[in-house]
Each structure stands twice: as structure tokens, then as C-alpha cells.
């Protein structure tokens, strides 16, 4: 079963210690003990989303996940977290095998601190030059993630990143591809280009084992690819971090808020720092509101363009088997 796919995934499986080189990318609030352990128990690789968690909460999350699976899983840390050093210490204490550094260039010393306790480090890189630099300075694997993905995104499509990065890096390095993958056919294509595996988020977010609120899941099942849009920046003075999410009332209110703050700025009623802070804080807590409270109108329903291929609640193991079957069929063709 799945011989061709597994042969192409071999390096990825060896690196992750899994049966399949399929990662479920960390999703804040969604990727907690239940989904993470389900992915790992099904032969994939689950990753705990640390997000803005405190070290204590992360510690609880790791211990709880270990209680649900004996298989390998990773922890995703956001590089600009003010307590990054303490979070790494928690990972060290619990002998976490893989740490994913997300959300920007890893600060000096962080890669070494993770490797010092024997864990493998996965990083993201927006450009080929930066990818080479990070790999030279000790990162063990790279995830290239295109703009089709859900959540915080870069500007370039996965298909283009794959063409830029894989021919240069795939032979000598461990490279996973993420963003916009909804079917196994696409997995087969990236494996054939040299990727050792893939990372999916959107496809797994509403699995049976996901604790996301029923309203959040329903919004996913109803949505088409074109509903998963990027946040729009209205004023060049007020930076907006690009996030892909389902368009809703919140997205409209965000546009209105930006106009309102820009006007206050023009009128001299707020200074630049305060204006930028107001924009930055608009979405604070919004993902939690959508995922946990089910507020899909004003919350942030982060989703990738592959959301159109997510139509019902399915157990993680079934999703993984479908992906593997589709990949194998594509490779057999
Ligand atoms: C709801 C949601 C939340 C996410 N949160 C995070 C996060 O906290 N950290 C992170 O590195 N990536 C996050 N991502 C990105 C995923 O880890 C993954 O890379 C992405 O979903 C892959 O693309 P896809 O959505 O097209 O499958 C999130 C994605 C979604 C859909």
C-alpha cells in the first residue's frame, strides 16, 4: 500500500520518526492535545501551537499530549514571543523531539538552544537566500509555505516557491511544502519535485478530533476557495499583517476601523504609534473567539484556499488515508 508515495517520503519519515511525512501545521487554539495526538496516532506528525501561551500552559499541553500518544509530535514556537527562551526550556525539560520556529527569523541563539537538548529544528524562510542562511546556521529542515495557506502568510504562491526552492535545496536538505494542499495529487507533485513531505492545516482543522467550535467547522464546510481572503491594508502608514481568513463582518469592520484611524491620524487626534497600535490590536483574541466561542461573524476564521475541499467532519485517520490513496493513484498514473 502506498509504496510509491512512501518511497518518496522516506527521508521525511526518517526525519520525523513517522509512518507518513504529513505534518499537520500548528494552528493556534486548534492544534492542542486532541488534534495533535490524533494526527500522530494516525501516522502523521502533529504539532502543538504554542501561540501566545505562557510557559506553564505549554508545559501542561505537552504533558497532556504525551499522555494521549507515544508517537512523535512537535511544538511550534512563535519567534517574537517575549518568553521564547523559557518556552525552549520547557521543550528541553520535556525532551520535545522537534521544534518548529515560526513567525519570523529565529533570534540569535534560539536554534542552538534547541539543538543543545537534542531536538530537531524546523524553520520557515520567505526567500531562498534566507533559507540557505538558516540551514547553514544549523536549522535541520525547512518548511516553504505559500500564500494559499490559512493564517499569517507571505506574498508568494506555493507553486512558485516550490520551483524556486526545491531544485536548489531538495537534494541536500529536508524540505516540506505547505500552503493550498487539499488532495494527495498535489502531495505527489511536490514529492516528485523533491520535497520530503508536506504540511497541511486547513484540511485538518475541522477533523472529528478537532476541538474547534461547531460553528467554526460549519463555516469551513460552507466556504469556497474564494471566501478565504487576505486582510487588506487601507492606508500605507498603517501596516497590516497579511492573514488569510474567511471573509465575514469582522473583515468589513476592520476596513472601517482602518479608515477611522487614518482619519484621526490626519486630524492629529492620535499619533502614529497609537494609530498603529489600534490597528494591531483589532484582531487580538479574534482567532480564539472564532475557534473556541464559535463567533464566526466578528472572530477571525483563519482558513486557506483549500477550504473549498473541506466539506464534512472526518476522522484524522480517514483524511490521511485519503491523501495517501490520492497521492499513490497520482504517482501510479
Ligand atoms: C486556523 C489556523 C491557525 C493557524 N495558526 C498558526 C500558528 O499559530 N502558527 C503557525 O506557524 N502557523 C499557523 N497556521 C498555519 C498552519 O500551520 C499551516 O502552515 C497552514 O495552514 C498550511 O496551509 P493550508 O492551510 O493551505 O493547509 C494556522 C493556520 C490556520 C488555518
Please state the domain extents for the chain.
3-212+308-332, 224-302
Is the domain covering 3-212+308-332 a CATH 2.60.40.10 domain?
A: no
pLDDT at 322 (0 to 100): 98
**Residues facing residue 143 across a β-bridge:** 124, 176
Phi, psi at residue 99, to the nearest 5°? -120, 130
**177 touches ligand 1 (CB under 6 Å):** no
* Residue 238: closest CA among 259, 267, 207: 259
Percent of the chain with pLDDT over 90: 98
What are the tens digits of pLDDT across the range 64-83?
999 999 999 999 999 999 99
What order do you get walking across the sheet with 228-230 strand by strand? 151-152, 243-246, 228-230
By the 8 A CB rule, do 33 and 61 touch? yes
Distance in Å, CA 235 to ligand 1 centroid: 26
pLDDT at 222 (0 to 100): 98
- Give the pTM: 0.97
DSSP state of 227: G
* Residue 21: closest CA among 39, 32, 29, 9: 9
Can you list the residues of the chain whose pLDDT is less than 70?
none
| Alpha carbons 12 and 16: distance in angstroms, whole number | 6
**76 touches ligand 1 (CB under 6 Å):** yes
Distance in Å, CA 36 to ligand 1 centroid: 13
- With a CB cutoff of 8 Å and minimum separation 6, the contacts of 304 are 148, 149, 150, 151, 179, 180, 201, 202, 228, 244
pLDDT at 142 (0 to 100): 98
3-state secondary structure of 216: helix
Amino acid at each position: 500500500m502506498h509504496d510509491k508515495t512512501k518511497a518518496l517520503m522516506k527521508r521525511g519519515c526518517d526525519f520525523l520518526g513517522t509512518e507518513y511525512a504529513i505534518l499537520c501545521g500548528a494552528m493556534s487554539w486548534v492544534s492542542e492535545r486532541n488534534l495533535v495526538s490524533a494526527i500522530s496516532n494516525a501516522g502523521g506528525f502533529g504539532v502543538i501551537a504554542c501561540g501566545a501561551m505562557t510557559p506553564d500552559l505549554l508545559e501542561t499541553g505537552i504533558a497532556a499530549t504525551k499522555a494521549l500518544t507515544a508517537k512523535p509530535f512537535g511544538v511550534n514556537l512563535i519567534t517574537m514571543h517575549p518568553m521564547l527562551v523559557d518556552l525552549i526550556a520547557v521543550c528541553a525539560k520535556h525532551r520535545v523531539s522537534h521544534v518548529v520556529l515560526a513567525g519570523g527569523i529565529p533570534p540569535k541563539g534560539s536554534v542552538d538552544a534547541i539543538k543543545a537538548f537534542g531536538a530537531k529544528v524546523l524553520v520557515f524562510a520567505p526567500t531562498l537566500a534566507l533559507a540557505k542562511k538558516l540551514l547553514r546556521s544549523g536549522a535541520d529542515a525547512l518548511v516553504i509555505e505559500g500564500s494559499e495557506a490559512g493564517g499569517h502568510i507571505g506574498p508568494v504562491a506555493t507553486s512558485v516557491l516550490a520551483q524556486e526552492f526545491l531544485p536548489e535545496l531538495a537534494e541536500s536538505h529536508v524540505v516540506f511544502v505547505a500552503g493550498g494542499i487539499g488532495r494527495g495529487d498535489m502531495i505527489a507533485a511536490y514529492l516528485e519535485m523533491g520535497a520530503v513531505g508536506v504540511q497541511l492545516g486547513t484540511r485538518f482543522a475541522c477533523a472529528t478530533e478537532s476541538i474547534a467550535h461547531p460553528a467554526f467547522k460549519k463555516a469551513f464546510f460552507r466556504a469556497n476557495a474564494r471566501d478565504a481572503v487576505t486582510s487588506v491594508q487601507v492606508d500605507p502608514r498603517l501596516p497590516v499583517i497579511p492573514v488569510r481568513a474567511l471573509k465575514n463582518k469582522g473583515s468589513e469592520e476592520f476596513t472601517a476601523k482602518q479608515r477611522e484611524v487614518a482619519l484621526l491620524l490626519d486630524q492629529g487626534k492620535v499619533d502614529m504609534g497609537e494609530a498603529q497600535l489600534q490597528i494591531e490590536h483589532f484582531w487580538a483574541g479574534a482567532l480564539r473567539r472564532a475557534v473556541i466561542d464559535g463567533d464566526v461573524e466578528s472572530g477571525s476564521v483563519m482558513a486557506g484556499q483549500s477550504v473549498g475541499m473541506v466539506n464534512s467532519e472526518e476522522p484524522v485517520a480517514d483524511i490521511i488515508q485519503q491523501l495517501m490513496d490520492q497521492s499513490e493513484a497520482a504517482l501510479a498514473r
